[in-house]
């Protein structure tokens, strides 16, 4: 359950979203990915680590190099943009319910 | 676990259908939308104006602890039928997002349960997609801001 939230947090970062777009067309090494950004290599590595931990990216060993590619299963799971929007409304409506239950008991 | 709030976004339709059942009599559910003080409490925003009547209007505003305005929204109320329906427009100011049309239907299920159906119509399909992606971009920031406020109060 926590993992799912982590996925959305991972996606909330614009650099990480850009990384996903980059590797969507082809598997890339960390170096090749980092070359697309002005940020330092360790920062990009950190982003790759987060994306791999929440399974949005997969690592593939090819000879001596590690390539990163999209995990299509996971992407499909979170590509449903409605979920965070739904959660937002769900929380808002929970609040409404609580506010009105309190209102009811204080007016009885 | 069954989801209490359901959202249907049909392919190719520039609208959303949001449905939710409440453990509240329909009168109380409606009141939460009709009275400024209550609306303010559950929406977590200041209600500057709320004229709950046909041809009425409303204005919402949220500021941070320093008084900087984070969010402003307004709209016009077209239909207002107590315990049944509200038809209104909604516009988030300074976002460049077009006005949306909202049809809210309130239904009694039992004495202590009710349902809200909210049909939201957007200017285009593109706008609907943009709105759906917004919690990604803004939801998390807002949560951080709130956390920051709570932390500041503890200091």
Same domain? For A59 and A90 the reply is no
Same domain? For A62 and A85 the reply is no
Same domain? For A32 and A81 the reply is no
Same domain? For A42 and A58 the reply is yes
CATH number for position A26? 1.10.10.10
Q: How many domains does chain A have?
A: 2
Q: Which two tokens stand for residue B58?
A: 């409303």
Give every CB contact of residue A29 below 8 A, 6+ residues apart in sequence: A65, A66, A67, A68
Same domain? For A11 and A44 the reply is yes
Rounded to two decimals, what is the model's pTM? 0.65
In B, which residues are within 8 Å of A10 by CB distance?
A: none
User: In chain B, what's the furthest Cα-to-Cα distance?
Assistant: 50
Q: What is the pLDDT of residues B54-75, one digit of tens each?
A: 999 999 998 877 888 878 899 9
CA proximity to A14, closest of A45, A42, A47, A40: A47
Same domain? For A1 and A16 the reply is yes
User: B19 near B28, Cβ under 8 Å?
Assistant: no
Same domain? For A88 and A63 the reply is no
B45-77 per-residue burial string, b: 16 or more CB within 10 A, e: under 16: bebeebebeeebebebbbeeeeeeeebbbbbbb
CA distance linking residue B2 with residue B18, whole number of Å: 15
In B, which residues are within 8 Å of A6 by CB distance?
A: none
* Number of cross-chain residue pairs from A and B with Cβ atoms under 8 Å apart: 75
A2-24 per-residue burial string, b: 16 or more CB within 10 A, e: under 16: eeeeebbebbbeeebeebbebbe
User: What stretch of H or E contains A60?
Assistant: strand A57-62
What's chain A's average pLDDT?
Answer: 83
Q: Contact A103/B133, CB-based, under 8 Å? A: no
Q: What is the ipTM of this complex?
A: 0.81
Q: What is the pLDDT of residues A21-41, one digit of tens each?
A: 788 778 999 999 999 888 889
Q: What is the pLDDT of residues A61-92, one digit of tens each?
A: 999 999 999 887 777 666 566 777 888 889 89
Determine the structural domain holding residue A81 and report its residue range.
72-108
| CA-based nearest residue in chain B for residue A7 | B136
In B, which residues are within 8 Å of A7 by CB distance?
A: none
Question: What was the pLDDT predicted at B90?
Answer: 95
Confidence of residue B39 (pLDDT cuts 50, 70, 90): very high
Q: Contact B133/A81, CB-based, under 8 Å? A: yes
């Amino acid at each position: 359950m926590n993992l799912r939230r982590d996925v959305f947090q991972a996606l909330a970062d614009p650099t990480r979203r850009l990384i996903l777009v980059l590797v969507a067309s082809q598997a890339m090494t960390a170096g090749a990915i980092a070359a697309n950004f002005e940020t330092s290599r360790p920062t990009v590595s950190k982003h790759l680590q987060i994306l791999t931990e929440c399974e949005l990216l997969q690592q593939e060993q090819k000879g001596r190099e590690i390539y990163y590619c999209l995990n299509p299963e996971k992407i499909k799971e979170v590509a449903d943009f409605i979920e965070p929007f739904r959660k937002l409304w769900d929380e808002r409506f929970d609040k409404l319910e609580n506010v009105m239950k309190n209102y009811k008991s204080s007016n009885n | 676990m069954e989801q209490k709030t359901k959202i249907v976004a049909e392919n190719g339709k520039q609208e959303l259908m949001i449905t939710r059942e409440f453990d509240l009599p329909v009168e109380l559910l409606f009141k939460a939308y009709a009275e400024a003080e209550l609306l303010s409490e559950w929406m977590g925003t200041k209600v500057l104006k709320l004229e709950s009547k046909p041809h009425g209007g409303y204005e919402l505003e949220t500021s941070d602890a320093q008084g900087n305005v984070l969010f402003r929204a307004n709209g016009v109320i077209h239909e207002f039928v107590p315990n049944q329906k509200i038809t209104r427009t909604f516009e988030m100011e300074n976002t460049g997002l077009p006005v949306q049309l909202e049809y809210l239907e309130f239904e009694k299920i039992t004495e202590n349960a009710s349902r809200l159906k909210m049909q939201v119509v957007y200017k285009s399909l593109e706008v609907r997609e943009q709105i759906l992606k917004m919690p990604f971009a803004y939801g998390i920031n807002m949560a951080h801001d709130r956390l920051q406020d709570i932390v500041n109060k503890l200091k």
